Amino acid sequence: MTATPGEAMRIAKLGYKVVRTETEAFPAADSGYHDYAEMQAELDKAAKAHPKIMQKLSLGKSYEGRDMPLIKISDNVAKDENEPEILYDAHQHAREHLTVEMALYLVKLFTDGYGKDARITNLVDSREIWIVPDMNPDGGEYDLTGGKYHNWRKNRQPVGSGYKGVDLNRNWSYKFACCDGSSPVVSSETYHGPQAFSATETQRLRDFVLSRRIGGVQQIKAAIDFHTYSELVLWPYGYTMNSTAPGLGADAQKTFAALGRTFAKSNGYTAEQSSSLYITDGSIIDWLWATQGVWAFTFEMYPNSPSKGGFYPPASVITAQTARNKDASLTLAEYADCTYKIIGKAQLCSTASSPR
Ligand code: LU0
Ligand code: CA
Ligand code: CA
Ligand code: ZN
């Protein structure tokens, strides 16, 4: 709960204890968004209401020491079952606050829908769903300081020359800094960091993903990394304009494109290879695919133009713009047991010719 200084004084006069915490809040007009403390409270509430299917765990701490929540949703949630695992992560970029709302929407969708909606119930029973709602809590809170937005993108780690911040989505190790898709300049918005995984927060998610590699088999089969804005569905690779490249053969490319176009049909976004937007190196989806074989997509959410609010659309859009990705999010989870089904090549999933 938050209060303005005036409200805090009146509450104190009523005899209640007012505790000042270090948490930031959205400007009043945007109070429909969840700041860090409100996000944590929402997750705690959901975990308490659905203990059989939801666990609130932790990835560890961010650079400034904020807990990075990790949500698991599945039947028999305390057990690691042999079920395809799916990862949804949000908020690598601080100012992209709508993505936290997307993650909270997915938590609600899978928990409140369980036992009511057959599609949701089937997924919760047959999958292990991982949700990381806040990859950049330090940057996200910094972006709200002083009751106004700061247009902040990176994390808040000191990087030299008095500057702070590494672009988390340029800090992953696959083809790190290879191709002019990031910057070596500490003050740049796309500063990639002194080396791959220099950022505390990318280390946290990397270590979790690697921990899901069991007996040499990555358990996470598919992922969506949520960003804003542009209304795009993007698939690997980001580092090259070539549609096929080492680790990404013709069948995999066709599968990515078919899945991506299916998602775009449901949410009205534009589907394309990530590099069609612009070249990025050290992005999460290139790493997830190339090193772990995870079918990983970037979704760039609402809006599609700066005139609709850019990185700061009004809170009134949250409900529609998160629900807009319901079908795509569920469809990816449904295909997670064998993505090649979508190009009619299910045999690739069970044979030794399966790439990973
Ligand atoms: O990281 C980014 O630059 C993304 C786009 C890539 C995933 C291709 N755009 S954003 O920073 O505006 N979300
Ligand atoms: Ca289960
Ligand atoms: Ca498992
Ligand atoms: Zn982004």
Whether 267 is in a domain gets the answer yes
Spatial CA neighbour of 341 closest among 327, 330, 331? 331
Please give the distance, rounded to the nearest whole angstrom, from the Cα atom of residue 224 to the centre of ligand 2.
Answer: 20
**CATH at 69:** 3.40.630.10
Whether 355 is in a domain gets the answer no
Please give the distance, rounded to the nearest whole angstrom, from the Cα atom of residue 149 to the centre of ligand 4.
Answer: 16
| Residue 183, burial from CB neighbour count under 10 angstroms (0-12, 13-18, 19+) | middle
Q: Atom of ligand 1 at shortest distance to CA of 228?
A: 13
Would the pLDDT of 355 be above 50? no
> What is the rounded average pLDDT of the residues 33-55?
98
Spatial CA neighbour of 308 closest among 226, 231, 227? 231
Q: Atom of ligand 1 at shortest distance to CA of 277?
A: 8
Catalytic residue among 96, 101, 300, 334: 300
Ligand nearest to the CA of 125: 2
Domain count, the chain: 1
Read off the tokens for 318: 């949250």
Q: What pLDDT is recorded for position 298?
A: 99
Whether 56 is in a domain gets the answer yes
Q: Catalytic annotation on 300?
A: yes
Whether 159 is in a domain gets the answer yes
Percent of the chain with pLDDT over 70: 94
Please give the distance, rounded to the nearest whole angstrom, from the Cα atom of residue 220 to the centre of ligand 2.
Answer: 14
Whether 173 is in a domain gets the answer yes
Most ligand 1 atoms within 8 A of CB, residue of 89, 91, 93 to mutate: 93
Q: Atom of ligand 1 at shortest distance to CA of 285?
A: 7
Please give the distance, rounded to the nearest whole angstrom, from the Cα atom of residue 336 to the centre of ligand 2.
Answer: 14
Ligand nearest to the CA of 75: 2
Whether 207 is in a domain gets the answer yes
pLDDT one-digit tens code per residue, 262-272: 999 999 999 99
Pocket of ligand 1 (CB under 6 A): 93, 96, 169, 227, 234, 238, 274, 277, 280, 283, 298, 300
pTM of the complete model: 0.93
Q: What is the distance between the alpha carbons of residues 198 and 195, in angstroms, rounded to a whole number?
A: 6
Q: What pLDDT is recorded for position 352?
A: 44
pLDDT one-digit tens code per residue, 223-245: 999 999 999 999 999 999 999 99
Percent of the chain with pLDDT over 90: 92
> What is the rounded average pLDDT of the residues 316-333?
98
- Find the domain containing 81 and state its range: 5-349
pLDDT one-digit tens code per residue, 136-148: 999 999 999 999 9
Q: What is the distance between the alpha carbons of residues 57 and 6, in angstroms, rounded to a whole number?
A: 36
**Mean pLDDT over the full length of the chain:** 95
Q: What is the distance between the alpha carbons of residues 130 and 249, in angstroms, rounded to a whole number?
A: 27
Read off the tokens for 49: 């209401």
Q: Atom of ligand 1 at shortest distance to CA of 170?
A: 1
Read off the tokens for 86: 């799916």
Tell me which amino acid residue 14 is: L
Please give the distance, rounded to the nearest whole angstrom, from the Cα atom of residue 178 to the centre of ligand 2.
Answer: 39
Q: What is the largest CA-CA distance in the chain?
A: 71
Q: What pLDDT is recorded for position 251?
A: 98
Read off the tokens for 144: 């709200």
pLDDT one-digit tens code per residue, 260-298: 999 999 999 999 999 999 999 999 999 999 999 999 999
Whether 356 is in a domain gets the answer no
Whether 354 is in a domain gets the answer no
Q: Would you say the C-alpha torsion 144, 148, 149, 150 has a positive or negative sign? A: negative
Q: What pLDDT is recorded for position 12?
A: 67
